[in-house]
């Protein structure tokens, strides 16, 4: 863990993610008790008002406080992201390890399903479902996104499990009489930590993005505030045309920032698990050899004198 | 010194070689494989092999890569069931329905690569404790720990408390191999199948791992199958020896006899090829110089007659016609027509000279 | 030491001379550098077979890579010389200093290398013929196609391979064939020295014997010198003229093959010698060496072998023994030195201070 936090990329990504989590958890309380603003309340004195001491991030075209919405929206977006990420990861791990470990017919069957799902245009499907189920709540959206996100991860988990299955230590566990579910859950899954964490982070970001895209297209939840619905409102309210950047930039930036944070965590993890020492060592070796040559040349020249 | 080798395994046992525990009868193993050009072929990794493991006895299974020795170990351990023939435990044939857990309580494996056979993410406490727990599920946590410490002491990883919470990555190859032996002993098995247990270890620590195996069979009367390509280490540790070539058993017998007076020409080639510092040689041995340059027979290939004929310096017309059975000669059995009773005079002379040469070497 | 220029005088028959060689594995910082070879002094005479034996982490492969300039980052030669005497008696060339182009010239034509994995040395997507032609042409550009073909055929026949193997790709040959083909290739330009790194470890016992016999026969016919690096001392005992034993990055004993075989001096050599069960001598219990080979990052103080040594005295963990000439061996061991000389532990301790 200490090694993880020493990695700057990982630390930065973690800090941003934790900040967002805290906002998602405490945001509603903060807005109502500290800011004492109703995110849906309309300030008729300030419609489409730019940032001011009263409304730190201005108001939107119906006079709602953007900062309050942004904070409230965090909960919706983060929930969708986490929930879809968890669903996708759990399915991917279950399916991937089972297929990879059992092999044979179960593997072929699962692989066929995965291949079909991977060729489906996921977003289009989501679009249709969301349109069909009018008034889809964010939970439903999260579940649907989760169900669409798992095949890619399942495939890489399957590949890793297959190689672990062929290692002697799993064979040794079978021949001491360990049960298959325990071998998978206790002995194999810990080796998949890297793949699982990176797939989870990707799924979280994908969930947030997809929800935002749906909302932008007007298919999101209308009852809840998320960053997606904010951007969507900004668009319908003509904020982009009129250059009212304070409507759409904050939620857009928030989404981008989460994407950035997860990418940083992923890079950090990657650096720690497969250290890219080689480049550095190569450089040090070249430098050492250069200096060595100079030293030797000097000695050669000085020698006969 | 050699007397002490054949001493009874345990004081209560008068006969050094106890009753048969695990036994292969006419075992054949066939795989589907592909040849160099990608065509489907049947690989006959084992052909009609009989091996008997008896209580308190170490049997060495010697052969080169591709001889089928590891396949036989896998058949013995039910990892790869035989395509024909059967494996018997205490005389009871094992089949598809055999329950695995009780079987593995009796028969355990030791793997070749101590770096791959232990889960690198688990502590020694987990690796050993879990096996204890599987086979005696009602043990308390403290009893499992006590048993784990006992196992560590058994394989001389002492003080055991220093090792129990370490991870495989902080142990040397020899220490890891001791952990895998301890894991196998955790179930108190009657049979150990050791597949090249020392070949990945440094030379200076190999002997002590072999000595440990020897001690285990002496003190616990375990039957051990020691699989190796190194005939000198096989001689060091085993009581009986079985030599495999291209999927077949070509010679069996008491170890000392097989090494000192190898009967089958392949065994002779193997003995002569093995490096042995105590028999410094000048130049090459003449007998095999040119003829044996070939490669071992491909297990996927069907051959009329003896499978060793292409490399055999004593090849006769009969060897190309008929595959020899295992023929008895003294205490040994050799799959070679040289030892047929109806062999003619010429083969007799060859047999005599052959035996003579090997005595000299 | 590294400031001393190449001294010119060496004995007539010396082909390659390693002097005071240190090899480092660079870490990310200077404090994490690991010294894998220290104070290596060793010479290879013309036409001899020199064996280098050691276990894992003994530094034997590091030494081989350093002396043939095959070393890759992060290994660096931090001190010392590897002097190659192309012609008898002539001033040598320091391979540590010479530029890459000069090194190219030496490779194959003067020094060739046979590695453990033939697959790693042979190009998998090029037919053997073209690999042979390339090496032969690099040595002599004037060779015509017919000459190239003849010479390649001849080389393969020397190692008992049918010439039609020239049409094959390396992966189409068996492991033993590939290893022999590589040996044939290493002979292509009549080198003075062939360096072999575990050339028979990946092949079976019978094939190993055949390859060793071929090496011995070819070496007698063609007179090249061989440096044979292996973990398997028993092979060297049968074939090497001289053997160097390495432990913990240092040479701990150098002697004739027969001395190492019959009367080894260093306790480590004795232990190693005992660790090979025999096929002919009396069966009986033998013991390996207790403990494990040391970690180069944490070498024991004094003699690196002292924690595993049954004969170790107090001095052994205080002062590192230097290689000392004994009656027929050169070994780095305080106990042997005290036995042989009339120096005692106190003198050695004082000398060290």
ipTM of this complex:
0.85
- Residue of B119, B168, B173 for testing the chain A interface, max A β-carbons within 10 Å: B119
Inter-chain contact B204–C55, Cβ cutoff 8 Å?
Answer: yes
**What pLDDT does B6 receive?**
38
Could you give the CA distance from residue B61 to residue A285 in angstroms, rounded to a whole number? Answer: 48
Could you give the CA distance from residue A171 to residue A271 in angstroms, rounded to a whole number? Answer: 30
- Chains near B (3 or more Cβ pairs under 8 Å): A, C
Q: How many CB pairs under 8 A join B and C?
A: 137
At A76, which helix (H) or strand (E)? helix A66-102
Measured CA to CA in angstroms, residue A4 lies from A273, B280, C248 at distances of 10, 57, 34
**What pLDDT does B7 receive?**
37
By C-alpha distance, the chain A residue nearest B128 is A176
| CB-closest option in B112, B117, B135 to A169 | B117
Could you give the CA distance from residue C276 to residue B236 in angstroms, rounded to a whole number? Answer: 10
**C10: number of Cβ within 10 Å:** 18
Could you give the CA distance from residue B273 to residue C206 in angstroms, rounded to a whole number? Answer: 5
**What pLDDT does B352 receive?**
46
Residue B50 dihedral angles phi and psi, to the nearest 5°: -115, 120
Q: Omega into A123 within 30° of 0, i.e. cis? A: no
C-alpha R_g of chain C = 21
Q: Which residues contact C309 (CB under 8 A, 6 or more apart)?
A: C267, C268, C303, C316
**What pLDDT does B16 receive?**
52
| CB-closest option in B236, B277, B283 to C234 | B277
Could you give the CA distance from residue A186 to residue C91 in angstroms, rounded to a whole number? Answer: 65
- Per-residue pLDDT averaged across A20-46, rounded? 76
Could you give the CA distance from residue B74 to residue B31 in angstroms, rounded to a whole number? Answer: 13
| CB-closest option in B205, B283, B293 to C289 | B205
First to last CA, chain A: 58
Q: Which residues of chain B have pLDDT under 50?
A: 1-15, 282-286, 290-291, 345, 348-349, 352-361
**What pLDDT does B249 receive?**
94
**Which token pair is C218?**
């070819």
**Which token pair is C269?**
């050599």
Q: What is the pLDDT of residues A67-126, one digit of tens each?
A: 888 888 888 888 888 999 999 999 999 999 999 998 888 888 888 888 888 887 777 777
**Nearest to residue B333, comparing CAs of B260, B243, B272, B273?**
B243
Q: Which residues of B touch A172 (CB under 8 A)?
A: 109, 111, 117-118, 180, 183
Does the beta carbon of C28 lie under 8 angstroms from any beta carbon of chain A? yes
Closest CA–CA distance from residue C163 to any residue of chain B (Å):
15
Inter-chain contact B121–A176, Cβ cutoff 8 Å?
Answer: no
**A36: number of Cβ within 10 Å:** 8
Inter-chain contact C287–B270, Cβ cutoff 8 Å?
Answer: no
**What pLDDT does C7 receive?**
45
Inter-chain contact C234–B259, Cβ cutoff 8 Å?
Answer: no
**What pLDDT does C92 receive?**
82
Could you give the CA distance from residue B315 to residue C60 in angstroms, rounded to a whole number? Answer: 44
Q: How much of chain B, in percent, has pLDDT values that exceed 90?
A: 48
**Nearest to residue A207, comparing CAs of A140, A114, A116?**
A140
Q: Which residues of C touch A293 (CB under 8 A)?
A: 97
Asked if A90 contacts A148 with a C-beta cutoff of 8 angstroms, the reply is: no
State whether residue C127 is helix, strand or coil. Answer: coil
**A250: number of Cβ within 10 Å:** 23
| CB-closest option in B208, B233, B281 to C287 | B208
Asked if C62 contacts C23 with a C-beta cutoff of 8 angstroms, the reply is: yes
**Residues A154/A171/A189/B126 CA torsion (nearest 10 deg):** 180
**What pLDDT does A158 receive?**
92
Inter-chain contact C74–A299, Cβ cutoff 8 Å?
Answer: no
Q: Which residues of chain C have pLDDT under 70?
A: 1-11, 342
Asked if B309 contacts B318 with a C-beta cutoff of 8 angstroms, the reply is: no
Asked if B190 contacts B196 with a C-beta cutoff of 8 angstroms, the reply is: no
**What pLDDT does C21 receive?**
94
- Residue of A169, A182, A192, A194 for testing the chain B interface, max B β-carbons within 10 Å: A169
Inter-chain contact B135–A167, Cβ cutoff 8 Å?
Answer: no
Q: What is the pLDDT of residues A215-247, one digit of tens each?
A: 877 776 667 778 888 877 777 777 677 777 777
| CB-closest option in B108, B113, B134 to A178 | B134
**Nearest to residue C15, comparing CAs of C114, C93, C100, C96?**
C93
* DSSP structure class, residue B86: E
Helices (H) and strands (E) in chain A, counts: 13, 0
Residue B174 burial by Cβ neighbours in a 10 Å radius (0-12, 13-18, 19+): buried
By C-alpha distance, the chain A residue nearest C81 is A296
Could you give the CA distance from residue A250 to residue B257 in angstroms, rounded to a whole number? Answer: 87
**Which token pair is C313?**
């005295």
Inter-chain contact A282–C73, Cβ cutoff 8 Å?
Answer: yes
Inter-chain contact A292–C3, Cβ cutoff 8 Å?
Answer: no
Inter-chain contact B117–A178, Cβ cutoff 8 Å?
Answer: no
**What pLDDT does B287 receive?**
52
Q: How confident is the model at residue A23 (pLDDT cuts 50, 70, 90)?
A: confident
Does the beta carbon of C97 lie under 8 angstroms from any beta carbon of chain A? yes
Residue B50 burial by Cβ neighbours in a 10 Å radius (0-12, 13-18, 19+): middle
Closest CA–CA distance from residue C191 to any residue of chain B (Å):
23
Bridge pairing between strands B84-89 and B20-34 = antiparallel
Q: Which residues lie across from B253 on neighbouring strands?
A: B241
Does the beta carbon of C327 lie under 8 angstroms from any beta carbon of chain A? no
Does the beta carbon of B106 lie under 8 angstroms from any beta carbon of chain A? no
By C-alpha distance, the chain A residue nearest B79 is A175
- Chains near A (3 or more Cβ pairs under 8 Å): B, C
Q: What is the pTM of this model?
A: 0.83
Inter-chain contact C205–B283, Cβ cutoff 8 Å?
Answer: no
Could you give the CA distance from residue B2 to residue B17 in angstroms, rounded to a whole number? Answer: 16
Complete DSSP assignment for C155-191: HHHHTT--GGGGGS-GGGS-HHHHHHHHHHHHTTT--
State whether residue B52 is helix, strand or coil. Answer: strand
Residue A98 dihedral angles phi and psi, to the nearest 5°: -60, -50
**Which token pair is B144?**
């499992």
**What pLDDT does A43 receive?**
67
Q: What is the pLDDT of residues A295-304, one digit of tens each?
A: 888 877 765 4
Residue A249 dihedral angles phi and psi, to the nearest 5°: -65, -45
Weakest-pLDDT range from A133-137, A281-285, C74-78:
A133-137
**Nearest to residue A228, comparing CAs of A211, A243, A240, A245?**
A211
**What pLDDT does B301 receive?**
83
């Amino acid at each position: 863990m200490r090694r993880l936090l020493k990695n700057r990329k990982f630390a930065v990504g973690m800090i941003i993610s934790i900040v967002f989590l805290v906002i998602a958890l405490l945001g509603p309380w903060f807005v109502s008790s500290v800011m004492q603003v109703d995110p849906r309340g309309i300030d008729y004195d300030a419609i489409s008002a730019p940032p001011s001491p009263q409304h730190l991030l201005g108001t939107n075209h119906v006079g709602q406080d953007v900062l309050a919405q942004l904070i409230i929206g965090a909960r919706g977006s983060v929930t969708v992201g986490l929930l879809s990420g968890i669903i996708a990861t759990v399915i991917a791990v279950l399916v991937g390890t089972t297929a990879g470990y059992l092999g044979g017919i179960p593997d072929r069957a699962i692989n066929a399903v995965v291949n079909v799902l991977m060729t489906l245009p996921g977003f289009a499907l989501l679009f249709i479902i969301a349109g069909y189920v009018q008034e889809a709540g964010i939970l439903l959206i999260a579940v649907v996104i989760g169900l669409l996100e798992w095949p890619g991860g399942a495939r890489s988990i399957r590949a890793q499990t297959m190689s672990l299955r062929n290692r002697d230590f799993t064979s040794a566990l079978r021949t001491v009489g360990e049960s298959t579910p325990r071998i998978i859950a206790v002995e194999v899954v810990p080796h998949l930590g890297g793949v699982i964490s990176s797939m989870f982070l990707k799924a979280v970001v994908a969930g947030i993005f997809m929800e935002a895209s749906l909302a932008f297209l007007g298919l999101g939840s209308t009852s809840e505030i998320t960053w997606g619905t904010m951007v969507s409102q900004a668009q319908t309210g003509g904020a982009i045309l009129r250059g009212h950047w304070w409507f759409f930039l904050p939620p857009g930036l928030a989404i981008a920032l989460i994407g950035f944070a997860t990418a940083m965590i992923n890079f950090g993890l990657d650096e720690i698990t497969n250290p890219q020492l080689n480049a550095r060592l190569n450089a040090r070796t070249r430098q050492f050899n250069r200096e060595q040559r100079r030293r030797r040349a000097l000695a050669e020249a000085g020698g006969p004198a | 010194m050699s007397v002490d080798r054949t001493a009874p395994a345990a004081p209560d046992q008068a006969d050094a070689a106890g009753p048969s525990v695990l036994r292969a009868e006419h075992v054949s193993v066939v795989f589907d494989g592909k040849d160099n050009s990608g065509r489907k072929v049947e690989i006959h990794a084992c052909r009609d092999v009989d091996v008997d493991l008896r209580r308190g006895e170490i049997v060495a299974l010697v052969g080169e890569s591709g001889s089928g020795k590891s396949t036989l170990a896998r058949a013995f351990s039910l990892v790869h069931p035989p395509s024909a023939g059967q494996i018997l435990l205490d005389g009871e044939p094992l089949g598809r329905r055999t329950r695995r857990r009780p079987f593995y309580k009796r028969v355990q494996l030791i793997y070749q690569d101590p770096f791959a056979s232990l889960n690198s993410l688990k502590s020694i406490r987990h690796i050993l404790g879990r096996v204890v727990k599987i086979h005696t599920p009602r043990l308390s946590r403290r009893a499992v720990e006590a048993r784990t410490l006992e196992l560590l002491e058994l394989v001389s990883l002492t003080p055991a408390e220093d090792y129990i919470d370490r991870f495989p990555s902080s142990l040397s190859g020899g220490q890891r191999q001791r952990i895998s032996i301890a894991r196998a002993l955790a179930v108190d098995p009657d049979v150990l199948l050791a597949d090249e247990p020392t070949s990945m270890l440094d030379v200076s620590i190999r002997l002590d791992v072999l000595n440990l195996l020897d001690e285990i069979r002496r003190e616990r009367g375990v039957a051990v199958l020691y699989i190796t390509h190194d005939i000198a280490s096989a001689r060091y540790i085993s009581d009986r020896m079985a030599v495999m070539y291209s999927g077949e058993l070509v010679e069996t017998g008491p170890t000392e006899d097989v090494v000192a007076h190898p009967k089958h020409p392949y065994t002779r080639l193997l003995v002569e090829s093995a490096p042995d510092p105590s028999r410094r040689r000048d130049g090459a041995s003449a007998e095999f110089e040119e003829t044996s340059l070939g490669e071992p027979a491909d297990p996927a290939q069907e051959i009329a007659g003896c499978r060793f004929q292409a490399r055999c310096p004593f090849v006769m017309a009969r060897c190309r016609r008929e595959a020899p059975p295992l023929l008895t000669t003294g205490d040994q059995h050799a799959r070679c027509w040289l030892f047929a009773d109806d062999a003619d005079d010429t083969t007799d002379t060859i047999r005599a000279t052959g035996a003579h040469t090997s005595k000299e070497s | 030491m590294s400031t001393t220029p190449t001294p010119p005088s060496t004995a007539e028959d010396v082909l390659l001379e390693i002097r005071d060689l240190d090899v480092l594995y660079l870490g990310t910082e200077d404090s994490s550098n690991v010294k894998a070879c220290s104070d290596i002094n060793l010479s290879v005479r013309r036409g001899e077979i020199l064996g280098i034996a050691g276990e894992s982490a003994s530094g034997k492969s590091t030494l081989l890579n350093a002396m043939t300039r095959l070393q890759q980052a992060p290994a660096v030669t931090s001190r010392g010389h590897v002097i190659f005497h192309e012609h008898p008696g002539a001033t040598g060339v320091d391979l540590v200093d010479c530029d890459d182009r000069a090194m190219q010239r030496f490779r194959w034509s003067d020094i060739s290398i046979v590695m453990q994995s033939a697959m790693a040395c042979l190009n998998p997507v090029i037919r053997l013929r073209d690999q042979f032609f390339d090496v032969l042409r690099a040595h002599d550009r004037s060779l015509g196609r017919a000459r190239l073909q003849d010479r390649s055929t001849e080389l393969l026949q020397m190692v008992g391979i049918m010439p039609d193997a020239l049409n094959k790709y390396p992966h189409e040959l068996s492991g033993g064939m590939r290893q022999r083909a590589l040996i044939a290739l290493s002979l292509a330009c009549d080198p003075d020295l062939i360096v072999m790194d575990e050339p028979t470890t990946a092949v079976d016992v019978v094939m190993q014997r055949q390859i060793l016999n071929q090496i011995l026969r070819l070496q007698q016919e063609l007179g090249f010198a061989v440096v044979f690096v292996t973990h398997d001392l028993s092979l060297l005992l049968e074939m090497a003229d001289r053997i160097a034993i390495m432990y913990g990055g240092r040479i701990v004993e150098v002697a004739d093959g027969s001395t190492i075989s019959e009367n080894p001096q260093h306790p480590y050599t004795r232990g190693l010698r005992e660790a090979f069960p025999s096929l002919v001598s009396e069966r009986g219990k033998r013991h390996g060496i207790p403990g494990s080979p040391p970690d180069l990052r944490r070498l024991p103080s004094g003699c690196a072998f002292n924690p595993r040594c049954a004969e170790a005295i107090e001095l052994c963990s205080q002062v590192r023994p230097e290689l000392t000439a004994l009656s027929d061996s050169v070994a780095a061991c305080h106990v042997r030195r005290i036995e042989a000389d009339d120096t005692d532990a106190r003198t050695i301790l004082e000398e060290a201070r």
